[in-house]
Amino acid sequence: MNGPRNLISLRDFTPQDVVEIFKLASDMKKSGAKYREALSGQTLAMLFQKPSTRTRVSFQVAMAQLGGVAIQLRDSDLQLSRGESLADTARVLSAYTQGIVGRMGSHGDLVELAKHSTVPVINGLTDLLHPCQALADYFTLTEKKGPLDGRKVAYIGDGNNMCHSLLYGATRVGMNIAVATPAGYEPKSIILKSVNREAKHAGIEVVLTEDPSAAAEGADAIYTDTWLSMGRESEEAERLSAFRGYQVNANLMRKAQSDALFMHCLPAHRGQEVTADVIDGAQSVVWLQAENRLHVQKAILYLLMRA
């Protein structure tokens, strides 16, 4: 492969890469001090066009814990805001830094950034995908449940960036996945086409339905995300109505295994996609998911930036 290694989509990582990342993340979580100098002298540029709590802070802390430095950049801080192109920005950032995390308005912009960058580019969320979150989520599932092959995750709600990356991730960890969305809010067909190909190869089952109970049936984990992703704020009224019936509540949790986990990438909206008793209840692992962003991203940075 020419050029640096990127993480734009989980398709960029093989199942073996994922095993390696999980092993490394686990070791970093236990023995962080061993990696204190791992990225010493290296700098990560973080270009964020949308708000972020977890991704932004966990990447910054990850670099600090690995002995490197992270620079937070907003569009308004850069000449991008005055019309300098993404291509030229990528070339310049590549001259100063050893990696770039991008949270871009559109997926195409991240791809453009990566195309012109000579250092690894990591997807910190686009409208299409959120691979770092999905990796941390499957890592969390592995910690809680052991090997994942043959197990089942149910995703309930919007067929959005999170849903897309969980679908790709399932093909990498060998987990079956069922997705329940209202009509008109299914995962994108271009994603489904490639996920279905990869699912066949991985020997996993991918089920799409409009029925949340059918998706939840027998699941080892129930996952949901906001009904109003960043950039969709103007669709609030129609979305709140379309997603009525897709709330993860105690009734829906009962359809899953009795020890099923509740998962959410956060930020959450109690009373909309999930009830407070579920997200704040005993089956919820949302805080562990958030914590694991740090450990898994340290492993991603180590793998990509030391290469």
Q: How far is the CB of 185 from ligand NVA (least distance, A)?
A: 12
Q: What amino acid is encoded at 202 in this protein?
A: A
Q: Of ligand NVA, ligand CP, none, which one sits near residue 303, judging by CB under 5 to 8 A according to partner kind? A: none
Residues 126, 110 contacting (CB under 8 angstroms): yes
Q: Of ligand NVA, ligand CP, none, which one sits near residue 176, judging by CB under 5 to 8 A according to partner kind? A: none
Q: How far is the CB of 162 from ligand NVA (least distance, A)?
A: 5
Q: How far is the CB of 109 from ligand NVA (least distance, A)?
A: 15
User: Which residues would be at the binding site for ligand NVA (CB under 6 A)?
Assistant: 125, 160-162, 225-226, 229-230, 265
Output the six-digit token pair for 157: 């709600």
Strands (E), the chain: 43-48, 69-74, 99-103, 121-123, 152-156, 176-180, 206-209, 221-224, 261-264
Supply the residues annotated as catalytic: 103, 130, 133, 225, 265, 293
Pick between residue 166 and residue 199 the one whose CB is nearest to ligand CP: 166
Q: How far is the CB of 200 from ligand CP (least distance, A)?
A: 30
Q: Of ligand NVA, ligand CP, none, which one sits near residue 53, judging by CB under 5 to 8 A according to partner kind? A: ligand CP
Pick between residue 4 and residue 298 the one whose CB is nearest to ligand CP: 298
Pick between residue 61 and residue 266 the one whose CB is nearest to ligand CP: 266
Q: Is 201 left (phi over 0), alpha (psi -120 to 50) or beta?
A: alpha
Q: Which long-range contacts (CB under 8 A, 24 or more apart) does 52-55 make?
A: 52/103, 52/124, 52/125, 53/267, 54/133, 54/266, 54/290, 54/293, 55/101, 55/103, 55/124, 55/125, 55/132, 55/133, 55/293
Residue nearest to ligand NVA (CB): 229
Q: Of ligand NVA, ligand CP, none, which one sits near residue 161, judging by CB under 5 to 8 A according to partner kind? A: ligand NVA
Pick between residue 69 and residue 230 the one whose CB is nearest to ligand NVA: 230
d(CA 183, CA 199): 23
Pick between residue 94 and residue 160 the one whose CB is nearest to ligand CP: 160
Bridge partners of 100?
45, 121
User: Which residues would be at the binding site for ligand CP (CB under 6 A)?
Assistant: 52-56, 125, 133, 265-266
Is residue 132 classed as helix, strand or coil in its secondary structure?
helix
Q: How far is the CB of 267 from ligand NVA (least distance, A)?
A: 7
Q: How far is CA 267 from CA 101, 135, 189, in A?
A: 20, 17, 26
Q: Of ligand CP, ligand NVA, none, which one sits near residue 229, judging by CB under 5 to 8 A according to partner kind? A: ligand NVA
Pick between residue 134 and residue 204 the one whose CB is nearest to ligand CP: 134
Q: Of ligand CP, ligand NVA, none, which one sits near residue 140, judging by CB under 5 to 8 A according to partner kind? A: none
Output the six-digit token pair for 126: 């686009």
Q: How far is the CB of 304 from ligand CP (least distance, A)?
A: 19
